């Protein structure tokens, strides 16, 4: 290359290459932002194909609307376009039985332009490039390592054999020595008899060893019993590889959209497949697994994506529950999320960075009590209902924050009744 291009030419070529790489990376980022905007604002009502959801399918939209500027105005504020008497706008509303479209005045002109470009040139569906997750009922293949317990047992057995051999050799050498010295040979003593003789001659040492072993066993047993029902870092394989990172993290979907019971009832609730279909009627391919996992949603819902109708038998999704509390424990999501204003991450960890959910907190009684001793009660000063109670607590705990335990939050009857 040095013999063909001189130094200025090489610099020019390097600059052009850098610019080309920048344009490619910029276009990739631009496309990713536009895709996120579409999923957050449009995908609930429109598909990128021909399928009609709440609104018409967007395939070929560029050839149907007057121009890109009209489409941008329509997306931004369709009500203003209708008020202007636009004939094509009236036609669209008539074809969709007068259904009203949301306005997106909160989006900037640049974001609207990105949406127009993305809708007119949608990405081609890609097949899954990651390994398929096991279906319900299938066992996940696990790498089998060497069992440490088996190694320990093997080492102990080997040492016992070595000790037995050495004892036999020592006994034989002792008899050979006695024979040379004209002394009678000694009778071989079995290991059990020798052990009993040692115990009789070392009673104090034996007692200390027995107490040490007994104390160790009791301690280990105590902690083993305490660990029953505690499943920290429990991470089961789900029948569908639903990614919280993609939904709650990348697409910023609120937790309450899927877990609608979290502010209203004791349990957060497992979303029904209809919740999934609100978006996935129009989104048939995911960023990580392509069409593989979304096809499982269609199968459960009985949805035929080719015909765009529910024409197949429905099947339940056998989700595996991750967070389990004992039957004798009462816990209400409503009290913690709605009244206590606690963030989901306080108990469930940074769910926005997880793929399939896992348990990150032990959820033990000690863990809950520790939280109640540290967490201040929110909204007491701003709520007239607590006015009298807050006044009494403020007088009782002068200068101290009013935490949950000061309001009876660690009384047994609050969680066990």
CATH class, 7-120 region = mainly alpha
Which is more confidently placed, 68 or 243? 243
Angle at 347 between CA 248 and CA 224, to 5 degrees: 130
pLDDT value for 44: 67
Tens digits of residue pLDDT in 357-373: 999 999 999 999 999 99
For 310, phi then psi, to 5°, come to: -85, 90
pLDDT value for 49: 78
Q: Hey, what are 181's tokens? A: 């010295």
Give the span between the Cα atoms of 38 and 341, in whole angstroms: 31
The pairs formed by 77-85 with CB atoms below 8 angstroms and a separation of 24 or more are 77/103, 77/104, 77/105, 78/103, 79/103
Tens digits of residue pLDDT in 387-410: 888 888 888 998 888 899 998 899
Could you state, in order of their start, the residue ranges of all structural domains in the chain?
A: 7-120, 244-363, 376-417
Residue 305 · residue 284 · CB < 8 Å: yes
Q: Check pLDDT > 60 for residue 22.
A: no
Residue environment code for 368-389, b if the CB has 16+ CB neighbours within 10 A, otherwise e:
beebbeebebeebeeeeebeee
Q: Hey, what are 300's tokens? A: 């459960």
pTM of the model: 0.55
Q: Check pLDDT > 80 for residue 40.
A: no
Q: Check pLDDT > 70 for residue 63.
A: yes
Question: Mean pLDDT over residues 86-97, rounded?
Answer: 81
pLDDT value for 9: 46
Give the span between the Cα atoms of 254 and 35, in whole angstroms: 18
Tens digits of residue pLDDT in 283-326: 888 888 899 999 999 999 999 988 889 999 999 999 999 998 88
Question: Mean pLDDT over residues 120-144, rounded?
Answer: 51
pLDDT value for 216: 93
pLDDT value for 29: 43
Give the span between the Cα atoms of 46 and 329, in whole angstroms: 44
Contacts of 390 (CB under 8 A, 6+ apart): 380, 381, 402
Q: Hey, what are 94's tokens? A: 């008539």
pLDDT value for 131: 41
Helix (H) or strand (E) holding 390: helix 387-396
Residue 376 · residue 402 · CB < 8 Å: yes
pLDDT value for 145: 57
Distances from the Cα of 290 to the Cα of 241, 257, 295, angstroms: 11, 23, 9
Task: Considering only CA atoms, give the Rg of the chain.
Answer: 36
pLDDT value for 1: 41
pLDDT value for 18: 52
pLDDT value for 139: 43
Question: Mean pLDDT over residues 120-127, rounded?
Answer: 68
Residue 149: pLDDT band (50, 70, 90) is confident
Which is more confidently placed, 198 or 217? 217
The SS3 assignment for 309 reads strand
Tens digits of residue pLDDT in 204-236: 999 999 999 999 999 999 988 888 878 888 999
From 257, 237, 238, 239, select the one nearest 247 (Cα to Cα).
Answer: 257
Q: Check pLDDT > 80 for residue 80.
A: yes
Of the listed ranges 76-85, 135-144, 364-373, the least confidently predicted one is 135-144
Mean pLDDT, the chain, rounded, equals: 81
Cα 395 to chain centroid, rounded: 43
Question: Mean pLDDT over residues 31-38, rounded?
Answer: 69
| Residue that is written with structure tokens 């967490």 in the block | 375
Contacts of 85 (CB under 8 A, 6+ apart): none
pLDDT value for 108: 84
Question: Mean pLDDT over residues 109-115, rounded?
Answer: 84
Residue 31: pLDDT band (50, 70, 90) is very low
Residue 235 · residue 244 · CB < 8 Å: no
């Amino acid at each position: 290359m040095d013999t063909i291009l001189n130094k200025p030419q090489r610099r020019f070529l390097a600059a052009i290459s850098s610019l080309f790489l920048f344009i490619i990376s910029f276009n990739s980022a631009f496309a990713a932002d536009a895709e996120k905007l579409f999923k957050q604002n449009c995908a609930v009502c429109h598909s990128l194909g021909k399928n009609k959801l709440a609104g018409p399918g967007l395939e070929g939209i560029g050839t149907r609307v007057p121009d890109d500027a009209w489409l941008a105005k329509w997306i931004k504020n369709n009500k203003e376009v209708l008020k202007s008497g636009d004939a094509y706008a009236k036609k669209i509303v008539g074809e969709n039985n007068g259904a009203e479209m949301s306005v997106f005045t909160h989006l900037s002109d640049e974001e609207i332009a990105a949406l127009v470009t993305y809708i007119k040139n949608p990405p081609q569906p890609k097949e899954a490039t990651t390994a398929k997750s096991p279906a319900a009922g299938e066992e996940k293949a696990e790498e089998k390592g060497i069992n440490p317990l088996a190694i320990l047992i093997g080492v102990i057995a080997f040492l016992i054999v070595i000790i037995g051999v050495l004892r036999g050799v020592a006994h034989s050498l002792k008899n050979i020595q006695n024979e040379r010295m004209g002394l009678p040979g000694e009778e071989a003593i079995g290991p059990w008899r020798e052990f009993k003789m040692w115990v009789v001659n070392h009673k104090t040492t034996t007692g200390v060893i027995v107490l040490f072993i007994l104390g160790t066993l009791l301690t280990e047993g105590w902690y083993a019993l305490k660990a029953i029902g505690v499943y920290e870092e429990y991470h089961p394989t789900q029948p569908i590889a639903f990614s919280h990172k993609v939904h709650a993290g990348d697409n910023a979907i609120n937790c309450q959209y899927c877990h609608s019971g979290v502010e209203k009832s004791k349990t957060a609730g497992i979303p029904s497949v209809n919740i999934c279909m609100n978006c996935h009627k129009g989104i048939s391919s995911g960023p990580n697994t392509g069409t593989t996992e979304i096809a499982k949603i269609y199968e459960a819902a009985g949805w035929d994506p080719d015909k765009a109708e529910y024409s197949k038998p429905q099947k339940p999704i056998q989700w595996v529950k991750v967070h389990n509390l004992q039957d004798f424990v009462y816990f209400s999501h409503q009290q913690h999320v709605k009244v206590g204003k606690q963030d989901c991450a306080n108990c469930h960890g940074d769910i926005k960075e997880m793929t399939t959910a896992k348990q990150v907190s032990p959820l033990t009684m000690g863990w809950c009590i520790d939280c109640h001793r540290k967490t201040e009660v929110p909204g007491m000063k701003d709520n007239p209902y607590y006015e009298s109670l807050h006044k009494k607590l403020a007088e009782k705990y002068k200068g101290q924050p009013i935490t949950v335990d000061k309001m009876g939050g660690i009384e047994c009857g609050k969680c066990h009744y």
